[in-house]
Amino acid sequence: MAEIRVHRVIARMNVGGPAFHVTHLSRQLSDRCTTTLITGASGPGERDMTSFARGQGISVEVLPALGPEVRPGRDVLALAALIRIFRRDRPHIVHSHTAKAGALARTAAVIARVPIRIHTFHGHVLGGHYFSPLRTRFFIRLERQLARITHRIVAISPAQRDELTDVLGVAPRRAFCVIPLGLELRRFRSIEPGGKASAKEALGLPSSCVLVTAVGRMVPIKRHDLLIRAFADLTRSGEKDWRLAFTGGGPEEARLKVLAARLAVADRIKWLGWREDVAPVLQASDALIQTSDDEGTPVSVIEAVVAGIPVVATRVGGLEDMLGDVQEARLVERGDVEGVTRAIRELRAEACVVSDATRDAFVARYSAERLADDTWSLYRSELSRAGIECALGQPRM
């Protein structure tokens, strides 16, 4: 029997949930199947994780024409390249991640006669928060057509599946399975509640300050401007030494700094840039804030809960599924500056620390090992359904 060959395709490996997801998944499955990770290049100002994936022992093939933006000329080149690779390597499964990669990879897999085609939605651009109504309708219709050539569609939360099926009509419910994100979380679980004072000093902050933190790309959909406005409201009360830290970067950073200066809070904000390890930042933080207009399953929120840090987040995407049972989290409505301010004050007044039971539950729910087991089960099911006899037994030793 043949060993399973999987080609995993993602538009780019910029720092974020999808890149961590495909890296951890590919590494965790390395003893059960052979995976080639195919990716495009990250954009200007984005930090790229391709070298990180290679450092995990993953075979990576970079296609310069592949990327997240719709560019017809380069898209045709990327499609042709994917067809050549699939015909050359004859994978049993093509598993795509993110929208653009999903469109090109599934089309190429049909042309190259790949037996199994799987696509994972991480976030999506179909909710009307990214494009004009006309472009949004076009992308919804495109996803409906792509669903017809896809054997299984993976959603990363029940809420995302419900939106894609019941609201957007991408495909019937039977076409979907839910497999939550999976991450390496041990270093975050090892963080202890004590030691915040020294962790703050290590960041160049007063040991007695109250630090709220945001982690991620600085792009419009993340609404960091809303967080700065809420933070300005906090500082006006004068009851505490409030501080704000941004970990990450992106095209919105310059505009956000102008806003911070205009609201007279620039001297209270730390711009930490991209960091290999955000655990020291979370160790210093009193709350993590997520103010996005749209999300899938944010990595930073998972890491914060596992680290014991309370969270304020907008009620979008998979966040309600994730945080609905977490007592040390507060959900606010999209765009609600006053709600964010109020929730931060409430958490601080209660001196919330995430319980050990909740931290352990998140480790079990969002571990890379669980992700690999769930995905392996999906692969086995689809290959069996297709009548393909492969080495489907125990993991290779």
Cα separation, 72 vs 109, in Å, equals 19
* CATH 3.40.50.2000 domain locations along the chain: 5-183+367-385, 186-362
State pLDDT tens for residues 81-119.
999 999 999 999 999 998 889 999 999 999 999 999 999
**Mean pLDDT value across residues 306-328:** 91
Decide if pLDDT at 131 tops 90.
Answer: no
Kindly provide the residue ranges of all beta strands, DSSP E only, lying in the chain, ordered along the sequence.
Answer: 5-12, 34-40, 59-62, 93-97, 116-120, 152-155, 176-178, 210-215, 242-247, 269-273, 287-290, 311-314, 329-332
Closest alpha carbon to 7 in 28, 38, 29, 50: 38
Closest alpha carbon to 307 in 273, 325, 284: 284
Structure-token match 């930073």, residue found: 300
Q: Is 250 within 8 Å of 46 (Cβ atoms)?
A: yes
Decide if pLDDT at 30 tops 90.
Answer: yes
Beta carbons within 8 Å of 359's beta carbon, 6+ residues apart = 189, 305, 306, 307, 308
- Options 3.90.79.10, 3.40.50.300, 3.40.50.2000, 3.30.420.40; CATH for 186-362 is 3.40.50.2000
Q: Is 143 within 8 Å of 126 (Cβ atoms)?
A: yes
- Cα 335 from chain centroid? 21
Q: Is 222 within 8 Å of 292 (Cβ atoms)?
A: yes
- CATH class held by domain 5-183+367-385: alpha beta
Per-residue tokens: 247: 């970990």
Closest alpha carbon to 218 in 24, 43, 22, 19: 43
Tell me whether strands 176-178 and 59-62 are parallel, antiparallel or unpaired.
unpaired
State pLDDT tens for residues 201-255.
999 999 999 999 999 889 898 999 999 999 999 999 777 899 999 999 889 999 9
Q: Is 146 within 8 Å of 102 (Cβ atoms)?
A: yes
Helix (H, G, I), strand (E, B) or coil at 155: strand
**Mean pLDDT value across residues 141-168:** 92
State pLDDT tens for residues 49-85.
899 999 999 999 999 899 877 788 899 999 999 999 9
Bridge partners, residue 154, by sequence: 120, 177
**Mean pLDDT value across residues 273-279:** 89
In this prediction, what percent of the chain has a pLDDT beyond 90?
Answer: 71
Q: Is 53 within 8 Å of 62 (Cβ atoms)?
A: no
What pLDDT does residue 125 have? 56
Decide if pLDDT at 318 tops 90.
Answer: no
**Mean pLDDT value across residues 288-296:** 90
Bridge partners, residue 80, by sequence: none
H or E element, residue 227 = helix 224-237
